[in-house]
């Protein structure tokens, strides 16, 4: 009998390659794939998805015990925290300047510079800096972060429609990448990329954050929007063909299933095991729908997902 | 694969005899393609054409049923590669592997645990779907005994795992009436296994780990022997083999109308995994990409609750958003002095707001209005989230009985409703919350004294 003819799609597009790091810092490229996630029989995946581990500029007040005990005293200092994250397997540090939030301390440019400098000093992997997600404050602290990391090709976010001009300008000036975040909607994602390119940011300096819904909390919306973005990109539309980042750590660890240890149905199972499963299942689902960077928090999750990515991307 | 009118036309007599009440054969063919009339209306259709049209009209992935009617699982008959194209129809069955060489006592304990397990989410009860009994003992008597014992303790569907036809027959004699899946046929035993499948009217799994060529050769032999209800067991041992092979199978069915591999797939994510987490990762991938039956080696609630949740998420119809029942939901353990937030009954909206309230540290009441499943701004624009509806919800749900104050917090995006709502709810203080759910925590910190 004739061999089965493999059903290969002829994609005309390609996901853009975005470089992070460099200039003394380790560098890496993400994106570049010519097929849907991990379909080796069909196309090439020149750069594997990477794991970013979250570091905050101040000890987190709302982290569950499972995470606090994993990081221990390192949580007191962003530099130490970054080193710990690296020892767990982080390929990128995702630094959240949480204390710049008006409710979390309202710190400003000076403190932001200090925190970013500490992390840049402590580790040599690429760094993503995320503001408190209040557009005015984001502008203040991200511009400060941008200056400190000038030339080291950080990624700065979140860049939303409201502040895209400021973030784009600082990325252009200091050679950084913007994290363009939109609320689980394909056209808005595309639109923000167009706006960023219109103000002069190069298309290879944008990473999309389509907004992450964790398992049980909107995962399916993120999953499908990402599949649609990826398909649109592969079909040749340049504007949604940027690599994607999913903030899995934050989203899965703030849900009740990952935090609450008592007073929930017995059918939810062991809290420690459940929390890890919540994070790994959210992560693998979003990798399969096209994530190029996933943020993670728990060391066990980092280890398992790193192995999974290796399995999915090994040659042959 | 649905045929086009032109493709159907080729099979018609092309006489334009009008006996079908259509002016021409082509007009008739077009109506058949739209499924407004059945092709059998044509009285002059040759038996060969009829057979060919029926074969072409078969679903690209066959629907296979396993288990007794009360708890049966149906898998296959999917129509799309991506859930956003339409929806996925038949959620994969999540089963638990039972080793027949373990003490009967511990087997019975597992069976009792699994069959009584059920967990609720957004008003939907989720549960495991059955057991795969593995003939590790290599003994026909033991296999049959364990199968009978499991079937006696649980109505859930069974997969019988043995490549020894004698052991399979011994088990089928006991439980063949429960429509188990026979796992399975391989290049050596397929004739005998196909006979058993025919005799007991059970579906047959076809095991082919050496690629799709040999797998499709085997299914062709088996279908020629008269067994049509097949399940494929290709090599899905690791994440890469699984996503590549299962994507190929689904595309072959849809894009190439390739019949020999148009069947649902069974997977065993625990088989080559070194830990329960690795098993969870592979199972999770297979829920999204594209398994029909997933047999797990471990059963713990902490594993099944997230996997069942994922299955619910992925198999939600993207065109019909899950709605939350209009009600007052307690988040944390709210008291009569706790804040009341108002939102819509679109499930994602509900989950965003509930999640933020949960992590805000403020116990609160969440008043969910019936907006027919629309999100805040969409519902407002469509007139489904206005002052009248909110006031009605406050009154019919008896909010005043739950709280000692008269304050409600509106989503910031519908701040414009405040004036009208003050008219509708005399004496109530209408507060304007933040436009985005993520800011609820900081809003409450500022605006609400515990």
Look up the CATH number of the domain holding residue B382.
3.40.50.11600
Q: Which structural domain, as residue segments, surrounds residue B40?
A: 5-57
Cβ–Cβ gap B238/A311 under 8 Å: yes
Q: Identify the pLDDT of residue B1.
A: 47
d(CA B317, CA B84): 8
Question: Any bridge partners for residue B96, and if so which?
Answer: B131, B296
**CB nearest B289 (choices: A217, A288, A304):** A288
Nearest-Cα residue of chain A relative to residue B317: A220
| Mean pLDDT of the A295-302 span | 98
Which residues, including other chains, have CB under 8 Å from residue B26's CB and lie 6 or more apart? Answer: B5, B9
- Asked whether residue B86 falls in the same domain as residue B207, the answer is yes
* Averaged pLDDT score across all residues of chain B: 93
In a domain, residue B295? The reply is yes
User: Which chain B residues have a beta carbon less than 8 Å from that of A38?
Assistant: 239-240, 243-244
Distance from CA of A139 to the nearest CA of B (A): 18
pLDDT at A315 > cutoff 80: no
Nearest CB among A3, A216, A308 relative to B281 is that of A308
Task: Please state, as a whole number, how many other Cβ atoms lie within 10 Å of the Cβ of residue A165.
Answer: 17
Is the domain of B129 the same as that of B198?
yes
- Report the distance separating Cα B258 and Cα B157, nearest Å: 29
User: Cα separation of B375 and A217, whole Å?
Assistant: 15
A-B CB pairs within 8 A amount to 171
Average pLDDT over residues A214-229: 94
Asked if the model's pLDDT at residue A209 lies above 90, the reply is: yes
Residues B205-233: what's their mean pLDDT? 96
Choose one of B260, B289, B314: the last residue of a domain: B314
Taking CB atoms within 8 Å and a gap of at least 24, the contacts of B20-27 are none
Residue A286 burial (C-beta neighbours within 10 Å; 0-12, 13-18, 19+)? buried
B432–A contact, CB cutoff 8 A = no
CA–CA dist B16, A210 (Å, integer) = 55
Do residues B113 and B11 share a domain? no
Contact A288 B288 (CB under 8 A): yes
Chain A nearest CA to B423, separation (Å): 33
CB-nearest to A227 from B82, B243, B303 is B82
Please check the confidence at residue B2 and state whether its pLDDT lies above 70: no
Token pair 């990477």: residue: A50
Q: What is the pLDDT of residue B318?
A: 87
B15, B36, B57 — which closes off a domain? B57
Average pLDDT score over chain A: 95
Overall average pLDDT of the A154-165 stretch: 95
- Higher pLDDT pick, A10 / B52: A10
> What integer is the mean pLDDT of A237-253?
96
Collect all residues of chain B within an 8 Å Cβ-Cβ radius of residue A312. 239-240, 243
Place of tokens 């630094």: A95
pLDDT-wise least confident of A223-227, B102-106, B254-258: B254-258
B305 within some domain: yes
Residue B348 and residue B231 share a domain: no
Assess if residue B44 is contained within a domain.
yes
Low-confidence winner among A78-92, B54-68, B388-402 (lowest mean pLDDT): B54-68
User: What average pLDDT score do residues A107-113 get?
Assistant: 97
> Tell me, what's the pLDDT at B320?
76
User: Distance from A300 to chain B by nearest Cα, in Å?
Assistant: 9
Mean pLDDT of A293-314: 97
The closest CB to that of B280, out of A101, A224, A281, belongs to A281
Domains and CATH numbers, chain A: 18-313 (3.20.20.20)
Asked if A220's CB is within 8 angstroms of B83's CB, the reply is yes
In a domain, residue B340? The reply is yes
Q: Does residue B207 sit in the same domain as residue B260?
A: yes
Phi, psi of B130 (to 5 degrees): 160, -170
In whole angstroms, what is the distance from residue B373 CA to residue B365 CA? 20
The CA distance from A289 to the nearest CA of chain B, in Å, is 9
Domain membership flag for residue B320 = no
Confidence of residue A262 (pLDDT cuts 50, 70, 90): confident
B5-44 residues touching A, CB cutoff 8 A = none
Q: What is the largest CA-CA distance in chain B?
A: 84
Looking at chain B from residue 306 to 335, which residues have their Cβ under 8 Å from any Cβ of chain A? 306-307, 309-310, 313-314, 316, 318
In a domain? residue B323: no
Nearest CA to A101 out of B297, B390, B438 is that of B438
Apex CA B143: angle with CA B140 and CA B148, to 5°? Answer: 125
The verdict on B106 and B192 lying in the same domain is: yes
**In this complex, which of A4, A9, A278 lies closest to B306 when CB atoms are compared?**
A278
Mean pLDDT of B131-159: 97
Q: How close A107 comes to chain B (CA, Å)? A: 16
Residues B102 and B241 in one domain: yes
For residue A158, cis peptide bond before it (omega within 30 degrees of 0): yes
Q: Is residue B322 part of a domain?
A: no
Separation in Å, CA B231 to CA B20, B74, B171, B286: 39, 11, 19, 15
Long-range contacts of B4-10 (CB under 8 A, 24+ apart): B4/B33, B5/B29, B5/B30, B5/B32, B5/B33, B5/B34, B7/B33, B7/B56, B8/B32, B8/B33, B8/B39, B8/B53
Strand ranges, E, within B316-394: 328-331, 340-344, 364-369
Give the per-residue pLDDT at A71. Answer: 98
Residue of A5, A7, A160 to mutate when probing chain B, most B C-beta within 10 A: A7
B12 φ/ψ angles, rounded to the nearest 5 degrees? -80, 160
**Mean pLDDT in residue range A19-26:** 94
pLDDT at A316: 61
Cβ contact, residue pair B280, A280, below 8 Å: yes
Do both B269 and B415 map to the same domain?
no
B211 shares its domain with B246: yes
Predicted confidence (pLDDT) at residue B450 exceeds the cutoff of 60: no
Identify whether residues B180 and B308 lie together within a single domain.
yes
Strand B130-134 vs strand B158-161: parallel, antiparallel, or unpaired? parallel
Q: How far from the centroid of its chain's Cα atoms is residue B62's Cα?
A: 16
In this structure, the answer to whether residues B245 and B266 fall within a common structural domain is yes
How many angstroms separate the CA of residue B345 from the nearest CA in chain A?
14
**Among residues B285, B314, B343, which one ends one of the domains?**
B314
Residues of B in contact with A62 (CB under 8 A): 359, 361
CB distance B358–A256 less than 8 Å? yes
Average pLDDT score over residue span A149-154: 97
pLDDT at position B79 over 90: no
Distance CA B302, CA B330 (A): 24
B424–chain A nearest CA distance, Å: 33
* pLDDT over threshold 60, residue B347: yes
Output the CA torsion sign for B80, B84, B89, B93: positive
Domain at B17, CATH number: 1.10.15.40
**For B148-193, what is each residue's pLDDT tens digit?**
999 999 999 999 999 999 999 999 999 999 999 999 999 999 999 9
Look up tokens 């939303």; give the residue: A160
Half-sphere exposure at residue A20, Cβ-oriented, CA atoms within 13 angstroms: 28
Rounded distance between C-alpha atoms, residue B397 and residue B230, angstroms: 52
Same domain, B289 and B254: yes
CA distance A158 to A177: 11
Residue B397 touches partner A, C-beta closer than 8 Å: no
> pLDDT at residue A26 above 70?
yes
Q: Is B285 on the interface with A (CB under 8 A)?
A: yes
Distances (CA, A) of B296 to A66, B88, B126, B129, B268: 26, 22, 16, 11, 6
Among A41, A219, A300, select the one facing B313 at the smallest CB separation: A219
pLDDT at A1 over 70: no
Could A255 and B441 be called an inter-chain contact, meaning their C-beta atoms sit closer than 8 Å?
A: no
> Average pLDDT, stretch B428-447?
91
Q: Is residue B263 predicted with pLDDT exceeding 50? A: yes
Query: Residues 6 or more apart from B8 whose CB is under 8 A from it?
Result: B29, B32, B33, B39, B53
Arithmetic mean of pLDDT, B381-406: 94
- Residue B45 pLDDT > 60: yes
Q: What is the CATH number of the domain that holds B265?
A: 3.20.20.20
CA B30 to chain centre: 33
CA distance B144 to chain A (A): 31
Is residue B319 a part of any domain in this protein?
A: no
Answer whether A227 sits within 8 Å of B248, measured CB to CB.
no
User: What's the total number of domains in chain B?
Assistant: 3
């Amino acid at each position: 009998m004739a061999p089965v003819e493999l059903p290969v799609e002829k994609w005309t597009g390609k996901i853009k390659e975005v470089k992070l790091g460099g200039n003394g810092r380790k560098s890496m490229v993400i994106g570049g794939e010519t097929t849907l996630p991990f379909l080796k029989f069909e196309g090439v995946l020149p750069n594997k998805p990477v794991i970013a581990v979250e570091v905050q500029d101040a000890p987190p007040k709302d982290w569950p015990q499972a995470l606090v005990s994993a990081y221990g005293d390192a949580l007191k200092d962003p530099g130490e925290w970054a080193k710990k994250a690296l020892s767990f397997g982080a390929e990128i540090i995702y630094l959240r300047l949480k204390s710049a939030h008006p409710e979390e301390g309202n710190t400003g440019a000076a403190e932001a510079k200090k925190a970013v400098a500490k992390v840049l000093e402590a580790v040599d992997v690429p760094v993503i800096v995320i503001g408190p997600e209040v557009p005015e404050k984001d502008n203040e602290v991200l511009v400060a972060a941008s200056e400190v990391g000038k030339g080291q090709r950080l990624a700065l976010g979140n860049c939303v429609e409201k502040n895209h001009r400021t973030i784009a300008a600082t990325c252009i000036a200091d050679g950084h990448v913007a994290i363009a975040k939109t609320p689980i909607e394909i056209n808005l994602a595309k639109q923000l990329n167009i706006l960023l390119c219109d103000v002069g940011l190069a298309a290879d300096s944008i990473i999309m954050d389509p907004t992450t819904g964790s398992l049980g909390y909107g995962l399916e919306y993120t999953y499908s929007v990402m599949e649609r973005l990826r398909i649109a990109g592969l079909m040749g539309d340049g504007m949604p063909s940027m690599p994607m980042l999913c903030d899995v750590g934050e989203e899965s660890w703030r849900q009740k299933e990952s935090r609450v240890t008592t007073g929930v149905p017995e059918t939810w199972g062991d809290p420690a095991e459940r929390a890890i499963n919540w994070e790994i299942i959210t992560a693998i689902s979003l990798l399969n729908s096209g994530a190029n960077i996933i943020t993670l928090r728990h060391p066990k999750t980092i280890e398992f997902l790193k192995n999974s990515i290796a399995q999915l991307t090994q040659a042959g | 694969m649905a045929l086009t009118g032109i493709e159907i036309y080729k099979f018609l007599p092309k006489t334009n005899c009008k006996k079908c009440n259509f002016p021409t054969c082509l007009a008739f063919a077009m109506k058949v393609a739209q499924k407004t009339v059945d092709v059998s209306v044509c009285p002059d259709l040759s038996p060969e054409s009829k057979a060919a049209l029926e074969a072409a009209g078969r679903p690209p992935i066959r629907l296979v049923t396993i288990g007794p009617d009360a708890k049966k699982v149906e898998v296959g008959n999917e129509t799309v590669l991506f859930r956003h194209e339409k929806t996925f129809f038949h959620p994969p069955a999540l089963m638990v592997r039972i080793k027949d060489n373990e003490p009967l006592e511990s087997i019975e304990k597992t069976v009792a645990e699994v069959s009584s397990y059920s967990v609720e989410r957004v008003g939907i009860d989720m549960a495991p779907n059955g057991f795969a009994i593995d003939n590790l003992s290599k003994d026909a008597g033991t296999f049959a005994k364990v199968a009978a014992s499991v079937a006696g303790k649980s109505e859930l569907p069974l997969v019988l795992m043995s490549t020894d036809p004698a052991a399979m027959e011994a088990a089928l004699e006991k439980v063949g009436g429960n429509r188990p899946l026979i796992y399975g046929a391989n290049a050596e035993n397929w004739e005998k296994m196909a006979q058993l499948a025919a005799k007991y009217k059970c579906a047959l799994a076809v095991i082919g780990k050496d690629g799709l060529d040999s797998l499709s050769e085997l299914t062709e032999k088996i279908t020629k022997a008269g067994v049509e209800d097949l399940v494929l067991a290709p090599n899905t041992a690791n994440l890469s083999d699984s996503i590549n092979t299962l994507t190929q199978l689904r595309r072959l069915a849809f894009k190439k109308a390739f019949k020999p591999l148009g069947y649902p797939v069974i997977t065993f994510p625990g088989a080559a995994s070194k830990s329960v987490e690795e098993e969870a990762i592979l199972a999770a991938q297979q829920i999204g990409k594209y398994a029909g039956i997933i047999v797990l080696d471990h059963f713990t609630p902490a594993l099944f609750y997230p996997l069942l949740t994922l299955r619910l998420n992925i198999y939600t119809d993207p065109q019909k958003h899950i709605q939350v029942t209009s009600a007052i939901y307690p988040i944390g353990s709210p008291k009569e002095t706790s804040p009341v937030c108002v939102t819509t009954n679109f499930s994602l909206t509900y989950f965003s707001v509930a999640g933020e309230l949960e992590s805000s540290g403020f116990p609160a009441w969440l008043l969910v209005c019936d907006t027919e499943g629309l999100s805040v701004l969409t519902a407002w624009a469509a007139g489904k989230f206005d002052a009248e509806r909110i006031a009605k919800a406050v009154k019919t749900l008896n909010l005043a009985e739950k709280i000692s104050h008269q304050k409600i917090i509106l989503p910031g995006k519908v701040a414009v409703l405040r004036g009208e709502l003050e008219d509708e709810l005399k004496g109530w203080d209408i507060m304007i919350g933040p436009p985005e759910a993520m800011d609820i925590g900081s809003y409450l910190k500022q605006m609400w004294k515990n």
